[in-house]
């Protein structure tokens, strides 16, 4: 269980790096549909860890059904506390919240030490680690949304110096493919279960994500004013939101700039475009005569056509510094990190930016909820699938089969996209 103990401590370290430099008023923040109060989320990750790792089993001083702080369930249970009410709750102070975090963490660590062979405990500890990792990424893009200072996470990206051409499309032969996670491969979420045969026609997929330079060409060609590029839903979103470029872009004296946290910097043309939503990705594809990949196409391009299913495009080895930009502070160029190329030569399918796919988020055949029932099931049919992770995703969290999911109008997350040639090509 030592690896779980190390992950627990590291996950909390990252949470604190992304939050504890904020001022008291920033920990509450404005009431927006796409963020939570930072202070509420800090308590929520501790409550989630306590609920699943201490309150669902035996052998711990804390009794089942009883929290270390009074009223925790009424404050922090996200399944029962409506989003809009979280600013009005009588939340404990930051000092009390951090003390709650620490006491829960210490008890979980002690329980891991005592119950080294408890597989059920190991499952729930891993669940809590990944849950906190996902909230840490949310803290990262919340800081961008709210124009807070950039977090003190060190370098903007790992291995950015290694670059090589990654132009054009990779040709994928298609055929029968096992979509999803295979049994016996360790912890996976319920929406990845289980691998099942799907038929994928031959296709061509871009070797890298769409860059800022390419997306700027779409903007400058009138892409946001050309009705034919947009679906009815996308056009309605665009007209209501009054956007005419990606969310954090601004044009001054004929030059494009991009806001990153508090700073407005000249747009870096070689970075993958980011903070575009599904509607914008679809509109670009229509402009370019392309399309988004399905999640089956994306996963096949990441995994290759062999019988074995690697955890990452390059194999099963954990991501190295030159293979994927993960757990970092920002993007690297879209043609960087050639060491992470998969069997078809596709680059950065893991890390840098999440990638929108065409697919609606739906259950795989025979879906059964895992114990955390609200992770997937409530969202089926209402969101689009993203794949691959971003620069802010911890390396331990991501793999080829991981399915992220957001509503199509969300442009606050660290998402871009890659494209496919039309199906008839």
pLDDT digits (tens, 9 = 90+) for 363-372: 999 999 999 9
- 351-383 in b/e form (b: 16+ CB < 10 A) is bbbbbbbbbebeebeeeeeeebeebbeeeeeeb
Q: What is the pLDDT of residue 321?
A: 86
pTM of the model: 0.96
| CA 425 – CA 414 distance, rounded (Å) | 30
Query: In this structure, how many other beta carbons lie within 10 angstroms of the beta carbon of residue 421?
Result: 15
| CA 2 – CA 232 distance, rounded (Å) | 52
Q: What is the pLDDT of residue 424?
A: 61
What are the structure tokens assigned to 201, written together? 């026609």
At 197, phi and psi to the nearest 5? -75, 130
Q: What is the pLDDT of residue 56?
A: 83
What are the structure tokens assigned to 337, written together? 């990190």
Strands 196-200 and 175-179: antiparallel
Provide the sign of the torsion angle of the four alpha carbons 213, 216, 221, 226, taken in this order.
positive
Would you say residue 236 has pLDDT above 90?
yes
Short-list 301, 299, 400, 401, CA closest to 346: 301
Largest CA distance in the chain: 66
Question: Which pLDDT band, with edges at 50, 70 and 90, does 153 fall under?
Answer: confident
Q: What is the pLDDT of residue 64?
A: 59
Give me the residue label for tokens 């390059």: 314
Question: CA 390 → CA 69, 275, 349, 386, 421, distances in Å?
Answer: 35, 12, 10, 10, 24
First to last CA, the chain: 51
Short-list 327, 324, 388, 321, CA closest to 353: 388
CA 96 to chain centroid: 29
More confident residue, 62 or 237: 237
Would you say residue 142 has pLDDT above 90?
yes
Would you say residue 215 has pLDDT above 60?
yes
Would you say residue 57 has pLDDT above 90?
no
What are the structure tokens assigned to 398, written together? 């991501």
Q: What is the pLDDT of residue 62?
A: 46
Strands 415-416 and 354-360: parallel
Would you say residue 59 has pLDDT above 50?
no
Query: In this structure, how many other beta carbons lie within 10 angstroms of the beta carbon of residue 241?
Result: 13
Walk me through the domains of the chain, giving residue ranges and CATH numbers. 2-145 (1.20.120), 156-425 (3.90.1580.10)
| CA 316 – CA 56 distance, rounded (Å) | 33
Q: What is the pLDDT of residue 263?
A: 96
At 354, phi and psi to the nearest 5? -60, 150
Would you say residue 159 has pLDDT above 60?
no
In this predicted model, what pLDDT tens digit does every residue of 240-259 receive, in sequence order?
A: 999 999 999 999 999 999 99
Average pLDDT, the chain: 95
Any idea which of 155-164, 201-210, 329-338 has the lowest mean pLDDT? 155-164
Question: CA 191 → CA 10, 22, 370, 379, distances in Å?
Answer: 26, 34, 9, 11
């Amino acid at each position: 269980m030592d690896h779980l103990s190390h992950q627990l401590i590291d996950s909390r370290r990252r949470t604190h790096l992304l939050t504890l430099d904020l001022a008291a008023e920033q920990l509450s923040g404005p009431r927006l549909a796409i963020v939570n109060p930072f202070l509420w989320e800090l308590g929520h990750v501790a409550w989630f860890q306590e609920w699943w790792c201490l309150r669902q089993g035996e052998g711990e001083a804390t009794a089942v059904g009883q929290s270390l702080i009074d009223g925790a369930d009424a404050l922090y249970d996200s399944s029962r506390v409506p989003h809009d009410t979280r600013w009005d709750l009588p939340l404990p102070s930051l000092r009390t919240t951090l003390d709650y975090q620490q006491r829960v963490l210490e008890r979980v660590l002690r329980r891991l030490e005592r119950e080294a062979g408890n597989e059920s405990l190991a499952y729930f500890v891993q669940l809590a680690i990944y849950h906190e990792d996902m909230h840490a990424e949310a803290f990262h893009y919340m800081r961008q949304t709210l124009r807070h200072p950039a977090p003190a996470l060190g370098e903007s990206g790992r291995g950015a110096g290694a670059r090589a051409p990654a132009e054009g499309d990779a040709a994928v032969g298609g055929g029968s493919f096992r979509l999803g996670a295979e049994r016996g491969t360790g912890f996976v979420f319920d929406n990845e279960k289980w691998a099942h045969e799907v038929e994928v026609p031959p296709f061509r997929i871009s070797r890298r994500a769409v860059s800022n330079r390419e997306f700027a060409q779409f903007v400058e060609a009138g892409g946001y004013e050309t009705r034919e590029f947009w679906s009815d839903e996308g056009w309605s979103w665009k007209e209501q939101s009054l956007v005419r470029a990606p969310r954090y872009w601004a044009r001054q004296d004929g030059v494009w700039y991009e806001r990153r946290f508090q700073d407005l910097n000249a747009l870096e043309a070689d970075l993958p475009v980011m903070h575009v939503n599904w509607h914008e990705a679809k509109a670009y594809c229509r402009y370019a005569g392309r399309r988004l990949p399905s999640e089956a196409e994306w996963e096949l391009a990441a995994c290759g056509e062999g019988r074995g299913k690697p955890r990452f495009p390059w194999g099963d080895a954990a991501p190295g510094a030159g293979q994927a930009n993960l757990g970092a502070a920002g993007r690297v160029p879209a043609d960087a990190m050639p060491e992470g190329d998969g069997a078809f030569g596709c680059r950065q399918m893991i890390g840098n930016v999440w990638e929108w796919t065409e697919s609606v988020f739906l259950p795989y055949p025979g879906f059964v909820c895992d114990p955390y029932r609200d992770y997937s099931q409530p969202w089926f049919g209402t969101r689009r699938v993203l794949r691959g992770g971003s620069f802010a995703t911890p390396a331990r969290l991501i793999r080829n089969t991981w399915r992220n999911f957001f509503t199509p109008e969300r442009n606050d997350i660290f998402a871009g996209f890659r494209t496919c040639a039309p199906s008839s090509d």
